[in-house]
């Protein structure tokens, strides 16, 4: 007689097959709404070019257990054009008058190494999860710096797969553009938001809703180290997405004095997404010590073979190497 576990496994497989079969061939996503979180520091008019240097599988924008195409404005997403258009809009909303265009150009320029979304779902009863990966080399006349972005989101669809579009597709794409904009403005102009803006966002987090994690990311996007103490406290928050947003944001604001905390989270956290976000944040710090730590973890993870968590973590580290 077939065991209960076997019956459940068969049912889960059947549900997954049904969901995949019923899924449409494409999903429409939106261009992100600019944040309008103004920087307090002025920035000059700048022309920034985005040069597409993605290779091989990196050129596939959306992949995973759900085979589908993402469209915007009625056509499949063209990663360099999508990034250029929305990065310019985000920078402008923050007071940085940059003209960002896809194609070869003078310095500063961004060599696009990775911009893609990967999806995963273990069973028909578990969350649909998206991983958004973005990596560029920001080149100026004085040298090159790697900038990485990693966003993880999940949602259990109750009635239809349309329920996952906003939380697992639109929101991560918006966050990826906003994080890159903050990093580019910080590296090129030392741009940062005012202390008052940090205080406003921190106060807003005293009253929570389903999207409070977006305000935690916004703290990171201020590029203001005044946010660090609030972010450190939130790395222990009970809300998963508030917590991983805080871990990520420590790297975004460049909290180099929190490297030991990030190492501890990576080594001791009970769930993969906390550990993965700690790796991402360590990569953001861009110091000799953080780079050496990532290199050692990469070697250790590669020795684990086919474990899916290890494979995903390797992809996160790869954004910075």
Domain of residue 198, CATH code:
1.25.10.10
Helix (H, G, I), strand (E, B), or coil: what is residue 163? helix
183 and 68 in a common domain: yes
297 and 198 in a common domain: yes
256 and 173 in a common domain: no
pLDDT given for residue 162 in this prediction = 78
Task: Using pLDDT thresholds of 50, 70 and 90, give the confidence band for residue 155.
Answer: confident
Q: Decide if pLDDT at 243 tops 50.
A: yes
- Identify the domain boundary among 162, 190, 218: 190
Within a domain: residue 8? no
pTM of the model: 0.90
Q: Decide if pLDDT at 159 tops 70.
A: yes
260 and 168 in a common domain: no
- Identify the domain boundary among 190, 207, 227: 190
Look up the CATH number of the domain holding residue 22: 3.30.160.150
pLDDT given for residue 43 in this prediction = 79
36 and 172 in a common domain: yes
Within a domain: residue 228? yes
Mean pLDDT of 157-184: 91
Residues 294 and 317 sit within 8 Å (Cβ to Cβ): yes
213 and 201 in a common domain: yes
Within a domain: residue 141? yes
Mean pLDDT of 4-19: 43
Domain count, the chain: 2
d(CA 275, CA 224): 24
Q: Decide if pLDDT at 49 tops 70.
A: yes
- Identify the domain boundary among 156, 190, 224: 190
pLDDT given for residue 64 in this prediction = 84
281 and 173 in a common domain: no
pLDDT given for residue 303 in this prediction = 87
Instruction: Please give the structure tokens belonging to residue 246.
Output: 């805080």
Q: Decide if pLDDT at 65 tops 60.
A: yes
186 and 239 in a common domain: no
d(CA 198, CA 200): 5
pLDDT given for residue 3 in this prediction = 47
Within a domain: residue 112? yes
Within a domain: residue 71? yes
134 and 37 in a common domain: yes
Within a domain: residue 1? no
> Residues 260-310: pLDDT tens digits?
999 999 999 989 999 999 999 999 999 999 999 999 999 999 887 778 888
Q: Decide if pLDDT at 95 tops 90.
A: yes
Mean pLDDT of 72-79: 93
Task: Using pLDDT thresholds of 50, 70 and 90, give the confidence band for residue 161.
Answer: confident
pLDDT given for residue 44 in this prediction = 83
User: Would you tell me how many other CB atoms lie within 10 Å of the CB of residue 57?
Assistant: 9
pLDDT given for residue 123 in this prediction = 74
Q: What stretch of H or E contains 26?
A: strand 26-28
Task: Using pLDDT thresholds of 50, 70 and 90, give the confidence band for residue 11.
Answer: very low
97 and 67 in a common domain: yes
208 and 107 in a common domain: no
Q: What percent of the chain has pLDDT over 90?
A: 70
pLDDT given for residue 1 in this prediction = 40
Q: Decide if pLDDT at 121 tops 90.
A: no
Which of these, 266, 225, 218, lies nearest to 246 by C-alpha position? 218
120 and 42 in a common domain: yes
Considering Cα of 282, then 189, then 193, then 99, what sign does the dihedral take?
negative
Task: Using pLDDT thresholds of 50, 70 and 90, give the confidence band for residue 6.
Answer: very low
> Residues 211-231: pLDDT tens digits?
999 999 999 999 999 999 999
Mean pLDDT of 195-211: 94
Within a domain: residue 126? yes
**Contacting residues for 158 by C-beta, under 8 A, at least 6 apart:** none
Within a domain: residue 7? no
Instruction: Please give the structure tokens belonging to residue 244.
Output: 């991983």
Looking at every residue in the chain, the average pLDDT score rounds to 89
Which of these, 231, 289, 225, lies nearest to 260 by C-alpha position? 289
Q: Decide if pLDDT at 27 tops 90.
A: no
- Would you give the distance in Å from CA 272 to the centre of its chain? 15
Domain that holds residue 55: 13-190
């Amino acid at each position: 007689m077939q065991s209960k576990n076997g019956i459940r496994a068969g049912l889960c497989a059947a549900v997954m097959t049904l969901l995949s079969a019923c899924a449409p061939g494409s999903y429409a996503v939106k261009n992100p709404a600019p944040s309008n979180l103004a920087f307090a520091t002025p920035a000059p008019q700048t022309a920034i070019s985005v040069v597409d240097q993605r290779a091989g599988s990196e050129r596939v924008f959306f992949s995973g257990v759900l085979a589908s195409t993402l469209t915007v404005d009625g056509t499949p997403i063209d990663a360099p054009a999508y990034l250029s258009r929305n990065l310019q809009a985000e920078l402008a909303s923050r007071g940085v008058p940059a003209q960002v265009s896809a194609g070869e150009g003078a310095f500063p320029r961004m060599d696009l190494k990775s911009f893609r979304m990967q999806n995963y779902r273990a069973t028909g009863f578990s969350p649909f999860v998206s991983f958004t990966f973005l990596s560029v080399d920001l080149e100026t006349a004085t040298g090159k710096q790697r900038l990485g972005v990693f966003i993880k989101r999940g949602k259990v669809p109750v009635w239809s797969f349309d329920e996952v579009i906003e939380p697992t597709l639109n929101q991560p794409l918006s966050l990826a553009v906003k994080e890159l904009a903050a990093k580019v403005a910080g590296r090129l102009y030392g741009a940062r938001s005012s202390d008052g803006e940090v205080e406003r966002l921190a106060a807003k987090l005293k009253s929570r809703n389903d999207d409070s994690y977006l305000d935690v990311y916004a703290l990171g996007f201020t590029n203001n180290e005044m946010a660090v103490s609030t972010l450190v406290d939130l790395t222990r928050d009970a809300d998963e997405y508030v917590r991983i947003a805080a871990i990520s944001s420590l790297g975004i604001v460049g909290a180099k004095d929190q490297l030991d905390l990030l190492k501890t989270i990576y080594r001791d956290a009970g769930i993969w997404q906390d550990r993965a976000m700690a790796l991402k944040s360590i990569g953001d710090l861009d110091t000799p010590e953080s780079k050496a730590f990532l290199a050692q973890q990469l070697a250790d993870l590669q020795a684990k073979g086919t474990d899916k968590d290890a494979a995903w973590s390797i992809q996160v580290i790869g954004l910075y190497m």
